[in-house]
Structure 1
């Protein structure tokens, strides 16, 4: 294929060849997506319905759950469809839309995780200024900035990626449309623009990573000075889930986009993509609810209330 104008569809080659493995992949993706839908849907409902959860921390957690739902609903349904019906194709416009929305939700999640780190820092290190620095208007502005930044980031990358001439076929070694796989099809030096954008993104990622590390160093210093063991446990219980989620997200995303080509392989690329695109939306609700008694109580109340109504 000489250029991108002649491409009408892409082939997603990361799916299994045998029918048994295709059905196994379908069942695994179905289970993960149902867990993500149930867990994130429960968080959204509990925070929206529980008036005592209308605090900055749970407000940002609600936004994080929305981004998780959006990201998994962007990639998994098409992969499940292809596995079930033994197909591999995705249309050119469908690939562009999938890339745009996936980048939108995943980048918004990254910004939200950074904001949630700031929330924990202010809550523990500057508790007297918490109401001033994280009032309802400030929280709304920060959440809106995260979503707007995600939109601009995804729009910039999508437009730049699909403006490249593609002349190395239409086969993508993934189960969804991903920038590194599309760049492999490019036959123009203009792909340097996208590599430049990825480098800028990496710098931004590193800056936020440094901010998160610095914030948690300050948080742990303050928490370890708390004389009460119960007080230290309560402070840690509100911070450790976010730290675990942020570490998983940043590490897998960094390995996916910044790993050297010499260590790249189809199986490694697939494993890393699953780790940062499919697993977090299913695990995040579990991580946040395990150590948060308020969220667990609100979720249990919501489930038992719905059960008694029916």
Structure 2
């Protein structure tokens, strides 16, 4: 029996590998893995409607005020946060594979794009989201999620701690109702806070710190309670879970009474929120700021290395949250990558 030439054998192995890869990509198992809705939707029954509805409303009551807050942190108008929460939730319904993570705007991402919005326009935030999505989707398609496993926890911890300090310092201006800029980084924000401390408005910090105290109290209100307990404990659990929305509603009532009833405005208000659903259009590959037009290449130059850093931070953040709440169960980083982008 004669053996195959070396080059012919290598070509044969290459064809087999390509055929195996093609079968894997086109198999029903892969489709179910990358489109989980195909597997769970046919098995869905009416007994799950009520608990799922309660869960959806509960998450929405938390996501709505969070989305508004993160939009403000990024320097955007509040409706941007609502749109981001809406679209990401719908897409995760189709592509989501981990029940332990919610998708949408986050504080870290808001802090990272804030300087572009403050220095230029909201178009930079939209384009940054598109670029991040394209990079993350590519990583998901190429099955490169395993690379996240090689990022050390000290790096993640250091980054999240620094981001928390930057986010907190950026809110000093709004919390105390100060004039001037909030700052693009931690040092700048603290400097501007000290510089404008004399412009403090009394009622803003009062309502702000009362809101913080209220959230802490409601968080502890449900200790030892869960959704599977008796009726009283379930109510306490639901109230605690929707504490963000309750705080926002109470704040809205106070602001309305002060503005409409007493005809005074001692608090700084967010202002008018855009109505309706935005038009579906292509990302802003060009933009004009202060009568100066920026091309796509110009915008990429302004982003610099951060255009690549942003998607990787988003991936790390999502996978870290998934693992933290997965209870030791395996997490598919590749699937989370592609889901987060959409």
- Length-normalised TM-score, structure 1: 0.37
- Length-normalised TM-score, structure 2: 0.35
**Rg larger in 1 or in 2?**
2
